[in-house]
């Protein structure tokens, strides 16, 4: 059930990736596009992706992508940085002169302008979330001089051939070492209990409670334009009503999310994406049925947490029958 999609809602804030075969009806908080199958539509560099659904806010794109096993993209570079979180299968990345595996529940960070290629492993299709920042002019100036919105699909430019992954094998990298050193680009984000050794492409915030107003526990990665994290809430617990000046997307990975956004109730199941525009009041909780896990995307104009509406950080919010016993 997606209660934030009923007839009482003036603006849609919740988007079910499993139902985005076309743009939803009514007023939406974000732009929704569906390109699938992607071959011949998205561009040559992503011709191996069979389906692409994109939800675009004012500062972030969030896309659900699927690649057929053993196929991948050309070597290309994007004007914006990206974080890609694997939901199913394994991605194989060619980046900065190395070939890296990105298993399920791992994130790969691709800095802006970094040439790279991605392929699904030979054993299974890969399903993954792409978070990309939005910058003015990503799509380039229109020839007719008309203003144009930033375009997720136009953000990448290919300059190499399509990567076919062979069963049981890999290949030599086609990218060159541009960093001049060994850099970590792949992160087991839900296992970041402490700072990783060596040089990281993104700032790592090890697993901890996000704020004093919430039960949210998790680790985060921060790039130039985006924060991403995997956040857990124990059943029956959550955050007080709050707001923040940066835009946020929450993708439910496990459990049932209950909450409120812009004064409206919501109930969101796995594959449901919540868009929280900057400044909109909201709160989220795990239902009484079980724990909740979400993948979070925010722009870096503000930090990872915002202040509660009542100005008092006096602990998490709990459903009746949960929380400390007094």
Residues 176 and 200 grouped into a single domain: no
Q: Which of 133-147, 167-181, 232-246 has the highest mean pLDDT?
A: 232-246
pLDDT score for 36? 58
Domain that holds residue 259: 196-318
Residue 325 lies in a domain: no
Task: Tell me which residue has tokens 């990665």.
Answer: 221
pLDDT, residue 319, reads 94
State which of 170, 187, 204 marks the end of a domain: 187
71/160 same-domain check: yes
| Cα–Cα distance for residue pair 244/230, rounded to 1 Å | 19
Residues 207 and 68 in one domain: no
* Residue scoring higher pLDDT (264 or 138): 264
Whether 14 is covered by a domain: the verdict is no
Same domain for 251 and 228?
yes
Give dist(CA 229, CA 87) in Å, integer. 14
- The answer to whether residue 26 sits within a structural domain is no
- Return the structure tokens found at 20: 């985005």
Mean predicted confidence (pLDDT) in 87-103: 95
Beta pairing, strands 203-209 & 217-222 = antiparallel
pLDDT number for residue 145: 41
Alpha-carbon distance of 152 to 132, in angstroms, equals 8
What's residue 135's pLDDT? 65
- Is 101 part of a structural domain of the chain? yes
Is residue 136 domain-shared with residue 222, that is, in the same domain?
Answer: no
User: How many structural domains is the chain composed of?
Assistant: 2
* Inter-CA distances, 10 with 5, 16, 45, 97, 275, Å: 9, 17, 38, 49, 14
Counting residues of the chain whose pLDDT is more than 70, the rounded percentage is: 80
Residues 164 and 231 in one domain: no
The reply to whether 20 falls in a domain is: no
Closest CA to 86 of 131, 54, 50, 45: 131
CATH number at residue 226: 2.60.120.10
Look at 31-40, 212-221, 285-294, 299-308 and tell me which has the smallest mean pLDDT.
Answer: 31-40
Asked if the model's pLDDT at residue 306 lies above 80, the reply is yes
Indicate whether 298 belongs to any domain.
Answer: yes
Range 175-189 average pLDDT: 96
Residues 32-51 have a mean pLDDT of 50
**Residue 157: its pLDDT value, please?**
43
């Amino acid at each position: 059930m997606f209660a934030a999609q009923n007839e009482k809602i003036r603006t849609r804030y919740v988007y079910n990736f499993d139902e985005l075969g076309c743009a939803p009806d009514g007023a939406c908080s974000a732009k929704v596009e569906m390109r699938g199958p992607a071959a011949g539509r998205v561009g040559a560099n992503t011709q191996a992706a069979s389906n692409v659904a994109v939800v675009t806010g004012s500062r972030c794109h969030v896309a659900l992508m699927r690649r057929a096993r053993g196929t991948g993209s050309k070597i290309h570079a994007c004007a914006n940085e990206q974080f890609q979180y694997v939901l199913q299968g394994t991605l194989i990345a060619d980046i900065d002169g190395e070939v890296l595996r990105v298993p399920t529940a791992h994130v790969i960070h691709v800095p802006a302008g970094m040439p790279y290629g991605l392929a699904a492993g030979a054993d299974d299709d890969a399903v993954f979330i792409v978070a990309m920042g939005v910058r003015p002019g990503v799509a380039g100036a229109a020839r007719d001089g008309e203003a144009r919105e930033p375009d997720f699909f136009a953000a990448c430019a290919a300059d190499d051939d399509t990567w076919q992954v062979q069963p049981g094998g890999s290949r030599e990298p086609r990218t060159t070492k541009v960093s001049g050193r060994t850099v970590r680009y792949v992160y087991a984000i839900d296992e970041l209990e402490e700072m990783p050794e060596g040089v990281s492409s993104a700032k790592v915030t090890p697993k901890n409670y996000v704020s004093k107003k919430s039960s949210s526990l998790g680790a985060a990665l921060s790039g130039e334009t985006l924060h991403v994290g995997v956040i857990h809430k124990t059943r029956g617990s959550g955050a007080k009503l709050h707001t923040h000046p940066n835009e946020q997307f929450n993708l439910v990975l496990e459990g049932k999310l209950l909450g409120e956004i812009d004064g409206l109730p919501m109930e969101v199941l796995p594959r449901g994406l919540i868009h929280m525009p900057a400044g909109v009041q909201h709160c989220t909780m795990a239902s009484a049925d079980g724990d909740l896990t979400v993948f979070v995307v925010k722009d870096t104009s503000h930090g990872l947490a915002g202040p509660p509406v009542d100005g008092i950080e006096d602990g998490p919010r709990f459903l009746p029958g949960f929380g400390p016993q007094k």
